[in-house]
């Protein structure tokens, strides 16, 4: 801060320039009053509901004494000019006294409820807390950036008519599930891409290679499963079936019980049908209807 040394001997030159220097320093010293905002109660101004006591306020950065009185809606600034007689004998108005008080001059719009009291500890003691608060607000803004940029989507678990103001349904997702973006997969390599189906009919291309075993040389044509490597029927449910013996000369009934039962020494004449399906069948498409999106997460600065 600027200063002046008045201790030098020889007669200090107290002229207009020196006084202007002092006044400018006073103005500079009042600058911190802006920390309280446009309207701040620095001290005093006790409010009992109907009247306000004397105190000190800051209005638009200017520190002023406040002359209390009956509470009103507006505050005005009063300025009184006082004349001083110069060495040449001429009186000039050079001394101005300013203070704030309740009133309405029809021009000023300083509203009393706008004045905020400087809390215990003062504004300066709270600067560190304000800086920390600003840092937290900045972090929250970064977290909320996807919403402000209108790209993030959330799940809503209530009726559509209860959707909060400022939000709306994303119609593109009706009846669809989101799928994670994957640039290496042509099905998922583009955000906004859609695909999938609710139903799918199996075709021959979807069926694995297999055999159907049937009884021959008889009027009964029965399909059996499964068939093990030893050419015997296994895991067959209990039942009675007529089988033709080797040359079809007669009929004989055998009862099969439970798993891994085999036929007697004379085996039925059973032959496989032709091969059906493919040795390397196409996989069945089980994709649900989907829309490709990017899943993002906040990772900090």
SS3 of 68, please?
coil
CA 274/CA 214 separation, integer angstroms: 11
pTM value? 0.42
Binning pLDDT at 50, 70 and 90, where does residue 1 land? confident
C-alpha 242/C-alpha 261 separation (Å) is 16
Top pLDDT among 120 and 271 is at 120
pLDDT in tens, 19-74: 888 888 888 888 877 777 889 898 899 999 999 999 999 999 899 999 999 999 99
CB crowding 90-129: b at 16 or more within 10 Å, else e: eeeeeeeeebbbbeeeeeeebeeeebebbeeeebeeeeee
* 114-128 tens-digit pLDDT: 998 876 655 545 666
Where are the domains positioned within the chain? Answer: 16-124
Average pLDDT of the residues of the chain: 76
How do residues 203-224 score in pLDDT, each as one tens digit? 778 778 776 655 444 433 344 4
Beta carbons of 59 and 39 less than 8 angstroms apart: yes
- Residue tagged 């306000």 (tokens): 52
**Which is higher by pLDDT, 103 or 299?**
103
Q: How far apart are CA 288 and CA 190, in angstroms?
A: 17
Backbone angles phi, psi at 172, to 5 degrees: -65, -20
d(CA 140, CA 176): 31
d(CA 120, CA 27): 25
Which helix (H) or strand (E) is 99 found in, with range? strand 91-102
Q: Check pLDDT > 50 for residue 94.
A: yes
Nearest to 228 by CA among 211, 241, 246, 243: 211
Q: What is the token pair recorded at 238? A: 């209990």
**Per-residue model confidence (pLDDT) at position 294:** 72
Q: Tell me: pLDDT of 87 over 80.
A: yes
Catalogue the E-assigned strands of 147-285.
177-180, 194-195, 213-215, 239-244, 251-256, 270-272
The strand pairing partners of 47, in sequence order, are 52
């Amino acid at each position: 801060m600027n200063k002046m040394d008045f201790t030098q001997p020889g007669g200090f030159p107290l002229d207009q320039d020196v006084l202007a220097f002092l006044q400018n320093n006073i103005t500079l010293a009042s600058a911190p009053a802006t920390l309280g905002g446009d309207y701040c109660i620095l001290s005093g101004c006790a409010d009992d509901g109907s009247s306000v006591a004397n105190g000190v306020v800051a209005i638009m950065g200017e520190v002023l004494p406040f002359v209390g009185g009956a509470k009103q809606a507006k505050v005005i600034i009063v300025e009184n000019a006082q004349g001083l007689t110069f060495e040449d004998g001429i009186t000039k108005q050079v001394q101005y006294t300013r203070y704030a008080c309740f009133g309405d001059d029809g021009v000023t719009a300083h509203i009393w409820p706008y004045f905020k009291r400087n809390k215990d500890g003062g504004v300066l003691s709270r600067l560190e807390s304000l800086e920390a608060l600003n840092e937290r607000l900045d972090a929250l803004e970064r977290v909320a950036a996807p919403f402000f940029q209108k790209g993030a989507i959330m799940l809503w678990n209530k009726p559509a008519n209860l959707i909060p103001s400022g939000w709306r349904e994303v119609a593109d997702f009706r009846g669809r599930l989101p799928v994670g973006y994957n640039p290496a997969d042509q099905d998922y390599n583009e955000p906004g891409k859609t695909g999938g189906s609710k139903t799918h009919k199996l075709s021959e291309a979807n069926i694995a290679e297999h055999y159907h075993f049937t009884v021959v040389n008889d009027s009964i044509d029965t399909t059996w499963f499964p068939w093990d490597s030893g050419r015997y029927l296994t895991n067959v449910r209990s039942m009675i079936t007529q089988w033709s013996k080797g040359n079809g000369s007669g009929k004989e009934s055998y009862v099969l019980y439970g798993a891994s039962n085999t036929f007697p020494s004379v085996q039925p004449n059973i032959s496989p049908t032709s091969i059906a399906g493919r040795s390397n069948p196409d996989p069945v498409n089980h994709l649900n209807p989907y829309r490709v999106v990017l899943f993002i997460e906040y990772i900090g600065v």
